[in-house]
A = this chain, B = another copy of it.
Amino acid sequence: MNFDFSDDQKMLKDQARKFLEDKCSYGDVRTVLESDASHHDDIWQGLCDLGFTGAAIPEEYGGLGLGALELCVIAEELGRSAAPVPFSSSIYMAAEAIKIGGSESLKQAWLPKLASGEIIGTLAAAEGPAAPTPRNTKTSFANGKLTGRKLPVPDGETASVAIVLANTGGTGEQAVSLVVVDLTQDGVTRSSVETIDPTRGHAEISFDNVDASLLGVTGEGWALMKRVEAGAAVLVAFEQVGGTEAALHMAKDYSLDRYAFGRQIGSYQAIKHKLADMYVKLELARSNAYYGAMVLAQEGADLELAAASARISATEAYRFAAQECIQVHGGIGFTWEANPQFHYRRSKLLALSLGSASRWKNRLVSELEKSNVA
Can you offer 5 A-B residue contacts whose CB atoms are under 8 A?
A: A268-B269, A269-B269, A269-B270, A270-B270, A270-B273
Contact residues, A229-273 vs B (CB, 8 A): 268-270, 273
How many of chain A's residues touch chain B, expressed as a range?
Answer: under 10
Question: A residues bordering B, Cβ < 8 Å?
Answer: 268-270, 273
Cα-based distance from A5 to B269 in the complex (angstroms): 40
- Which interface residue of A268, A269, A273 has the most chain B CB atoms within 10 A? A269
Cα-based distance from A268 to B270 in the complex (angstroms): 9
Cα-based distance from A270 to B273 in the complex (angstroms): 8
Cα-based distance from A273 to B268 in the complex (angstroms): 12
Specify which chain B residues have a CB less than 8 angstroms from the CB of A270 in the assembled complex.
269-270, 273
Cα-based distance from A218 to B268 in the complex (angstroms): 63
Cα-based distance from A201 to B273 in the complex (angstroms): 41
Specify which chain B residues have a CB less than 8 angstroms from the CB of A273 in the assembled complex.
270
Cα-based distance from A270 to B270 in the complex (angstroms): 6
Closest chain-B Cβ to A161's Cβ sits at a distance in Å of: 42
Cα-based distance from A269 to B260 in the complex (angstroms): 15
Closest chain-B Cβ to A272's Cβ sits at a distance in Å of: 9
Specify which chain B residues have a CB less than 8 angstroms from the CB of A268 in the assembled complex.
269
- Give the top 5 A-B pairs by smallest Cβ distance, nearest first: A269-B269, A269-B270, A268-B269, A270-B273, A270-B270
Closest chain-B Cβ to A262's Cβ sits at a distance in Å of: 16
Closest chain-B Cβ to A266's Cβ sits at a distance in Å of: 12
Closest chain-B Cβ to A328's Cβ sits at a distance in Å of: 14
Cα-based distance from A268 to B273 in the complex (angstroms): 12
Residue of chain B at shortest CB distance from A271: B269
Residue of chain B at shortest CB distance from A269: B269
Residue of chain B at shortest CB distance from A270: B269
Closest chain-B Cβ to A258's Cβ sits at a distance in Å of: 16
Cα-based distance from A156 to B301 in the complex (angstroms): 53
Closest chain-B Cβ to A234's Cβ sits at a distance in Å of: 32
Closest chain-B Cβ to A31's Cβ sits at a distance in Å of: 39
Specify which chain B residues have a CB less than 8 angstroms from the CB of A269 in the assembled complex.
268-270
Closest chain-B Cβ to A314's Cβ sits at a distance in Å of: 27
Closest chain-B Cβ to A271's Cβ sits at a distance in Å of: 9
Closest chain-B Cβ to A140's Cβ sits at a distance in Å of: 33
Cα-based distance from A121 to B273 in the complex (angstroms): 49
Cα-based distance from A269 to B270 in the complex (angstroms): 6
Cα-based distance from A144 to B270 in the complex (angstroms): 63
Closest chain-B Cβ to A169's Cβ sits at a distance in Å of: 35
Closest chain-B Cβ to A8's Cβ sits at a distance in Å of: 44
Closest chain-B Cβ to A274's Cβ sits at a distance in Å of: 10
Closest chain-B Cβ to A327's Cβ sits at a distance in Å of: 13
Closest chain-B Cβ to A83's Cβ sits at a distance in Å of: 36
Residue of chain B at shortest CB distance from A273: B270
Residue of chain B at shortest CB distance from A268: B269
Cα-based distance from A269 to B269 in the complex (angstroms): 6
Cα-based distance from A269 to B276 in the complex (angstroms): 14
